[in-house]
Amino acid sequence: MAQAQIGIYGLGTMGSALALNMAEHGFDVAVTNRETDWIAPFVEEASAFSARLYPKERLTDFVAALRTPRVILFMIPSGAPMDAMLEEITPLLSPGDTVIDGGNADFHDTRRRAAQLTERDLHFVGLGVSGGEAGARHGPSMMLGGSRHSWAQLEPILTSIAATYDGTPCVAHLGPDGAGHFVKTVHNGIEYADMQVIAEIYSLLRNGSAMPPAEIGALFADWDRGLLKSYLVEITAQLLTYTDPETGHPMVDVIKDAAGQKGTGRWTVIEALRMGQSASMIEAAVGARGWSSEKDTRQRAETLLGGAVGAFDGTPEVLAEAFLAARILAYAQGFRILSAASEEYHWSLDAATIARIWRAGCIIRSALLDDIAAAFDLGLPQDELILSPQMAQTLSRCIPSLRQVVCSAVHGGHPVPALSAGLAWYDSMRLGHGSANIIQAQRDMFGHHGFERLGRTGLHHGPWWD
C-alpha cells in the first residue's frame, strides 16, 4: 500500500541527512539509491526512525510506495544523471506528480526540464538546499522554484524540516522553474566572495602582521559576537584553533593553498555578465580560486619575481570595519544579479523573502541579513542595497577603513582581489559623474557609434567627424 509522503532517491550525504530530518519530523519517507547495497546499511543506522523509512530496491516499488500525487526528491549529481533519471522515472508517474532536483543544478537545465515535464502534466521543482550535511540533517535553508501545485504539496514537509529564524522557517517558494536554483547559485556566488574576503583578511594578519593562526582565530571569534556574526566567521574562528596531529603545526599551515570549486561561483559570474551586470567581488573570488590552483606556476614566479610582502599597517578594528563594508558590497552585488534575473525571466523574485530565508541554515547566514531583509521590506529597489539609509550609514563609517586596508595591502604587495574589487565598485557607484564620457568619445571617433549629450536628447557625433 502506498504510504510514504515523499520519496528520496539518492542516499549520499545530503540525501540521507534530508531523509533522516524528514523522518524525525514525522514524515513517512520512501528511500532508494542507484547502488542498492547502500540502502540496508542506511536504514540500519537510522534505526531510531526506521518505522518512518520505506526502503525500496526497485524503482517501480519505490514509486508504488508513494501516496499520489507523488513527490520525489532526487539528491544525485547534477547534470546528465538527472536527465537519465527523468527518462527512467517519468513513464512510471501520473499527472500531478512532482519531481524535485535538490542538487546544485544549472538553472538553465532546470528550466528545460520543467518545460519537458509540463508537457506530460508533471511538475519539476528546482530546490536549492544550503547548509551542508549538518544543515540538511537539522535544518537547511531551501530555495524553491516550481509550480504553486508543487509548493502546496511540499510546503508542509519543507517548512517542518527547514532551519528557523525567530520561528520563521527558512524556506520559500521563490518563483517558477529555475528561480530556486538561480537564487541558490547566487547564494553560492556570495559565499565565494565572503570566503575570499575572509581569506584576504586572514592573509593580511598572518603574512603582514605575523599573527599566529590561533590568535587570528580568537579575533574571528570576537568578531562573531558583533556585527560580523556569521556562520563563515564562526567556522573560520574554529578551524584556526586546530593543530595537525601529525606535525604539531597549525592545521591551516599543512593544507595546500589551492582552492577547489564545483562551478556555482563561475555560473553566477557568467549569468551576471550575460545580463549586463558585473559582480566584481564574486568574479574576483572565482578568479582567485583559479589562480590558487596554479601552485606550481606561482612557486616558479616567486623565485623569479620575488614573493616578499611588506608589513600590513592596520588594526583589528580597522580590519573589522573593512570586512563589514566588503560584506555589504558583496551582498549588494548578489542582489543586483537576482534583480536582473527576476526581470529577464519574469520571476518576480522578492528580495526581502530571499534575505529572510538566508538568515539561518545556509552557509552565508549572517547578522547582516536581518537588516537587509528589513531594508527590502521598506520597499528598497532590489538593485540598490547600498542606498538603503542603514547600509549607506554603515558604509560611510566603514569605507575609510576598507580604503586604508586596500591601500596598505597594495603598498605591501598583498593580493586583495575581492576587497579591492568591492572598493572600486563602491567608488564607481558613488560618483555621479564618472569617466565613461571618454569611452563614448573614443567609440564615436573610431566607429561613429554616437553618444548622448548632457542635457540634450538624441544621438550625437563629435566635431572629429566634421
Q: Which residues bind ligand 6PG (CB under 6 A)?
A: 104, 130-132, 188, 191, 260-262, 264-265, 362-363
Please, what is the minimum distance in Å from the beta carbon of residue 195 to ligand 6PG?
A: 8
d(CA 97, CA 117): 10
Please, what is the minimum distance in Å from the beta carbon of residue 179 to ligand 6PG?
A: 16
Please, what is the minimum distance in Å from the beta carbon of residue 103 to ligand 6PG?
A: 9
> Is 55 within 8 Å of 85 (Cβ atoms)?
no
Alpha helices in 293-388 (DSSP H): 295-305, 316-345, 351-357, 368-377
Closer residue to ligand 6PG (CB): 147 or 268 = 268
> Is 160 within 8 Å of 107 (Cβ atoms)?
no
Pairing of strands 168-169, 164-165: antiparallel
| Residues with Cβ within 8 Å of residue 169, at least 6 apart in sequence | 158, 159, 160, 162, 163, 357
Pairing of strands 141-145, 123-130: antiparallel
Active site members: 184, 191
Closer residue to ligand 6PG (CB): 269 or 386 = 269
Please, what is the minimum distance in Å from the beta carbon of residue 133 to ligand 6PG?
A: 9
Closer residue to ligand 6PG (CB): 180 or 314 = 180
Determine the residue type at 203.
S
| Residues with Cβ within 8 Å of residue 208, at least 6 apart in sequence | 309, 310, 311, 312, 408, 409, 412, 414
Please, what is the minimum distance in Å from the beta carbon of residue 418 to ligand 6PG?
A: 15
d(CA 31, CA 33): 7
Closer residue to ligand 6PG (CB): 262 or 300 = 262
Closer residue to ligand 6PG (CB): 129 or 399 = 129
DSSP 93-155: --TT-EEEE-S---HHHHHHHHHHHHTTT-EEEEEEEESHHHHHHH--EEEEES-HHHHHHHH
Q: What is the largest CA-CA distance in the chain?
A: 85
Please, what is the minimum distance in Å from the beta carbon of residue 180 to ligand 6PG?
A: 13
- Where b means 16+ CB within 10 Å and e means fewer, 190-211 reads bbbbbbbbbbbbbbbbbbbbeb
| Residues with Cβ within 8 Å of residue 222, at least 6 apart in sequence | none
Phi, psi of 442 (to 5 degrees): -60, -45
Closer residue to ligand 6PG (CB): 109 or 191 = 191
d(CA 64, CA 54): 11
Whose CB is nearest to ligand 6PG?
130
Sign, CA torsion 133/137/138/139: positive
Closer residue to ligand 6PG (CB): 54 or 202 = 202
Which of the 8 DSSP states describes residue 441?
A: H
Please, what is the minimum distance in Å from the beta carbon of residue 445 to ligand 6PG?
A: 44
d(CA 139, CA 170): 9
How many C-beta atoms surround the C-beta of residue 166 within 10 A?
8
Closer residue to ligand 6PG (CB): 221 or 235 = 235
Give Cα 123 to chain centroid, integer Å: 25
Please, what is the minimum distance in Å from the beta carbon of residue 232 to ligand 6PG?
A: 10
Q: What are 445's strand-pairing partners?
A: none
Closer residue to ligand 6PG (CB): 81 or 450 = 81
Please, what is the minimum distance in Å from the beta carbon of residue 230 to ligand 6PG?
A: 13
